[in-house]
Chains A and B, each alone.
Chain A
Amino acid sequence: MSTIRERRITDQGLEIGLAALTQDRIREAVQAIRNSETGAKMKVYHETCMRCGMCAPACHFYVSNDNDPSYAPVAKVHQTMTRILNGEDIGPQDVYDFAQIAYTECNLCRRCAFYCPVGIDIGYIMSTVRRFCYKLGMVPQYLNDTGNSHASTMNQMWVKEDEWTDSLLWQEEEARDEFPHIRIPLDKEGADIFYSVIGPEPKFQTQLIYQAACIMHVAGLDWTMPSFPGWDNSDMSMYIGDFETMGRVKKAHFDAAQKLKCKRIVMGECGHAFRSVHDVGNRWLGAKDSPVPIVHSIKFFADLIREGKIKIAYKIDDPVTIHDPCNVIRGRGLMDELRYVTHALCSNVIEMTPNREYNYCCCAGGGVINCGPPYKNSRVQGNRVKAEQIKRTGATIVISPCHNCHSGLEDIVHGAKIDAKISFLGDLIYPQMEKPAHFTEPAPCNGGGHV
């Protein structure tokens, strides 16, 4: 067994936070967690968790680290929240430990919920530990940077307003070579669909915007994107524990859709952003469900194919497996829709075990990958079990309709030297969908003597 102190990772953000910690500030934060931030739910969890350890085998960190007990879900609580609630002495170094455990050794993936007979929500407890650390300025540097970006720009990646619209116009321009009439309609009032993406898309994954525009175009949909802040649905503030910024970011997102009077929001292939709009951020805004109807890409694509709005021209034969992102599967039950779309695109699908709602997390989620390079090794090592799962399928393509999973699985596959490519659904739909001639041919020229 290793201890959290032994496996400490140096992080600039935590070091700076540590230097500013005082016993008084810690005491204040403890009081806040005990008296104002939490209520009966936390107390009851604290009292009735039977310390039975049944949740241990649920966690990929525990399993991948040779059943090291300090990685068991209940152990993470035991080393953090239990100490806060028991009123134990907590020093600055302890807060460092708490931050490393809560931000980088738990993905808030909620897999442990299937293992706990009492029904304890470890994800909630660990996000409250994060809240405690955030209140003390103890947030890993890279993650904190995304939070600062959210707070100042309303997007995760410091994308400036003109850069955003430039990226969209650029992708429209590019796509016009292929589809001469294509538009990425900006600020179209009353459109059926308000399409939102996450910060990294305009920053370094513009091909995803390209693909989405092509799919919308071929399906003949009435859609729009805003030219102003609110276009980013992602939410690292939620994972930092900065709920105030989370609320502002979510409000900007919903407000943008409402300002344009759109009927529904369709969002790209992202897991955590989906969690933040329908499960967490909306609650902070006092909305039981999302204030504007929200559809995840998986469901959106499934409907397009089912209704014949796009037709799949051919299926690929490569061995394909499916990674179920927790935030859309365990978070919204879209496992059958995901399979429907995958089977429409691929003829050779091999399931992982366990799968569907029982999937192992990719170990990138919950903001862990956003904690950046210092934690890459512990993240990859902490999910050996996923690498083994993928390897067993023999698949060369892993479908993963979630950004974090996508990047996390790439690291994992690379680390385990598995020859597999990670793919979004859009990466397959775009090349495989039928592109009828009237979409791809240039507009008829009026002055050319044609009738």
Chain B
Amino acid sequence: METLYLLARGPLCWATAIIFVLAMGWKLSKAWSEAKAKDGSSVAYLSWKFGLRSIFNWAIPYNALGWKENPLICAATFCLHLSLLLLVLFADGHTVLWEYTFGLRIWALSPMLSDILSVVALTSLGVLAWRRIAVPQVKFVTGPADWLALILVTVPVLTGFLSGFLGGTSALTLTTLHILTAEILIVLIPFTRLSHAVFIFFTRAYIGSEFGGVRHCRDW
């Protein structure tokens, strides 16, 4: 287990980062060149001003009409994404990794705060999963790809959270599992629905540009 742990924490960490950057870069450049070749009548309208205006307005909870009319999912979405972002960057285990692997020294969350954020993230994921089963309009369109996305995110958060409560070899096992599943998650981002993490900036900026520039109207 220890070898596996060391492998996951060391070389696999690098490999994950490299694969993610290469794959995402490849996806983005492919999409961009295809957009220029085939979606010229859309690309022509991209505008920094309206694109950023749209991203900004959708980044504020309960600001856009869609957020206002879906209050629960608004809460779940913002809680999930914020807690994930904070955990990924500042969870104490992670700050050690940042330093160990990439030589970056950054501020760390207290273990207590990390636990709270994990619970928030897990609850939000629970809400999203519950919607997939119980809310008719979500159930109607839910398929394996949507469950895969949810599971990919849930497992590393859960293992990361639980590992803090255990000691000895089970802690090591869980931590190893946490690192490995997180690495799988990162590698798969470009190839699953999770690619929205990157593409959303483009889709938002584009619709914002169309509404602002062509339709003289807001889009939130």
Give the B-binding residues of A (Cβ under 8 A).
1, 38-41, 43-45, 47-58, 62, 67, 69-70, 72, 74-75, 78, 113-121, 278-279, 283-284, 288, 329-334, 357-358
Asked whether B34 lies within 8 Å of A53 as measured between CB atoms, the reply is no
B residues 164-205 in Cβ contact with A at 8 Å:
193, 195-196, 199-200, 202-205
Q: A41-B42, A113-B207 are in contact. Are A48 and B65 (CB under 8 A)?
A: no
Q: A40-B39, A62-B137 are in contact. Are A114 and B203 (CB under 8 A)?
A: no
> Can you identify 28 A-B contacts, CB atoms within 8 angstroms?
A1-B140, A39-B38, A40-B34, A40-B38, A47-B195, A47-B199, A48-B193, A48-B196, A50-B146, A50-B149, A51-B138, A51-B142, A51-B146, A57-B69, A58-B69, A69-B137, A74-B137, A114-B220, A117-B67, A117-B77, A118-B203, A119-B206, A121-B207, A279-B214, A279-B215, A331-B217, A333-B216, A334-B216
- Most-contacted residue by chain A among B32, B138, B217 (CB, 10 A): B217
| Complexed CA–CA distance, A334 and B143 (Å) | 40
Asked whether A75 lies within 8 Å of B211 as measured between CB atoms, the reply is no
**Looking at the complex, which one of A39, A51, A333 makes contact with B217 (CB distance below 8 Å)?**
A333
Asked whether B39 lies within 8 Å of A53 as measured between CB atoms, the reply is no
Asked whether B39 lies within 8 Å of A119 as measured between CB atoms, the reply is no
| Complexed CA–CA distance, A51 and B141 (Å) | 6
Asked whether A278 lies within 8 Å of B77 as measured between CB atoms, the reply is no
Chain A nearest CB from B207 CB (Å) reads 4
| Complexed CA–CA distance, A121 and B200 (Å) | 13
| Complexed CA–CA distance, A122 and B161 (Å) | 38
| Complexed CA–CA distance, A69 and B202 (Å) | 28
**Looking at the complex, which one of B37, B77, B141, B214 makes contact with A53 (CB distance below 8 Å)?**
B141
**Looking at the complex, which one of B66, B210, B215 makes contact with A115 (CB distance below 8 Å)?**
B66
Asked whether B42 lies within 8 Å of A118 as measured between CB atoms, the reply is no
- Most-contacted residue by chain B among A38, A43, A332, A358 (CB, 10 A): A43
Chain A nearest CB from B29 CB (Å) reads 11
Residues of B within 8 A of A50 (CB): 146, 149, 193, 196
Asked whether A58 lies within 8 Å of B54 as measured between CB atoms, the reply is no
Asked whether B70 lies within 8 Å of A54 as measured between CB atoms, the reply is yes
B41 within 8 A of A: yes
Residues of B within 8 A of A279 (CB): 214-215
**Looking at the complex, which one of A39, A69, A116 makes contact with B140 (CB distance below 8 Å)?**
A69
Chain A nearest CB from B52 CB (Å) reads 13
Asked whether B217 lies within 8 Å of A45 as measured between CB atoms, the reply is no
B31 within 8 A of A: yes
Residues of A within 8 A of B34 (CB): 39-40, 43
Main secondary structure of the interface of B (DSSP, over half): helix
Query: Which 5 pairs, one residue from A and one from B, show the smallest C-beta to C-beta distance?
Result: A39-B38, A333-B216, A115-B66, A119-B207, A53-B138
B44 within 8 A of A: yes
Residues of A within 8 A of B210 (CB): 121
* Interface residues as binary, B82-98 with A (CB distance below 8 Å gives 1, 0 otherwise): 00000000000000000
B35 within 8 A of A: yes
Q: A332-B216, A357-B217 are in contact. Are A56 and B137 (CB under 8 A)?
A: yes
Asked whether A48 lies within 8 Å of B199 as measured between CB atoms, the reply is yes
Number of interface residues of B (CB under 8 A): 56
B residues 111-152 in Cβ contact with A at 8 Å:
128, 131, 135-143, 146, 149
Asked whether A119 lies within 8 Å of B214 as measured between CB atoms, the reply is no
B73 within 8 A of A: yes
Asked whether A120 lies within 8 Å of B203 as measured between CB atoms, the reply is yes
B9 within 8 A of A: no
Asked whether A78 lies within 8 Å of B199 as measured between CB atoms, the reply is no
B108 within 8 A of A: no
B208 within 8 A of A: yes
B58 within 8 A of A: yes
| Complexed CA–CA distance, A331 and B219 (Å) | 11
B155 within 8 A of A: no
Residues of A within 8 A of B200 (CB): 48, 117-119
Asked whether B64 lies within 8 Å of A114 as measured between CB atoms, the reply is yes
| Complexed CA–CA distance, A57 and B32 (Å) | 32
When C-beta atoms are compared, the residue in chain B nearest to A41 turns out to be B39
Asked whether A40 lies within 8 Å of B35 as measured between CB atoms, the reply is yes
- Most-contacted residue by chain A among B67, B135, B146, B196 (CB, 10 A): B196
Asked whether A119 lies within 8 Å of B208 as measured between CB atoms, the reply is yes
Q: A44-B203, A55-B66, A278-B214 are in contact. Are A75 and B137 (CB under 8 A)?
A: yes
Asked whether B146 lies within 8 Å of A119 as measured between CB atoms, the reply is no
Q: A40-B34, A48-B193 are in contact. Are A74 and B77 (CB under 8 A)?
A: no
Residues of B within 8 A of A332 (CB): 215-217
- Most-contacted residue by chain B among A38, A67, A117 (CB, 10 A): A117
Asked whether B66 lies within 8 Å of A116 as measured between CB atoms, the reply is yes
Chain A nearest CB from B151 CB (Å) reads 15
When C-beta atoms are compared, the residue in chain B nearest to A288 turns out to be B44
| Complexed CA–CA distance, A74 and B69 (Å) | 16
Residues of B within 8 A of A117 (CB): 58, 64, 66-67, 77, 200, 204
Asked whether A119 lies within 8 Å of B38 as measured between CB atoms, the reply is no
Residues of A within 8 A of B205 (CB): 119
Asked whether B65 lies within 8 Å of A358 as measured between CB atoms, the reply is yes
| Complexed CA–CA distance, A390 and B146 (Å) | 39
Asked whether B37 lies within 8 Å of A54 as measured between CB atoms, the reply is no
Chain A nearest CB from B70 CB (Å) reads 5
Asked whether A330 lies within 8 Å of B217 as measured between CB atoms, the reply is yes
**Looking at the complex, which one of B31, B54, B149 makes contact with A119 (CB distance below 8 Å)?**
B54
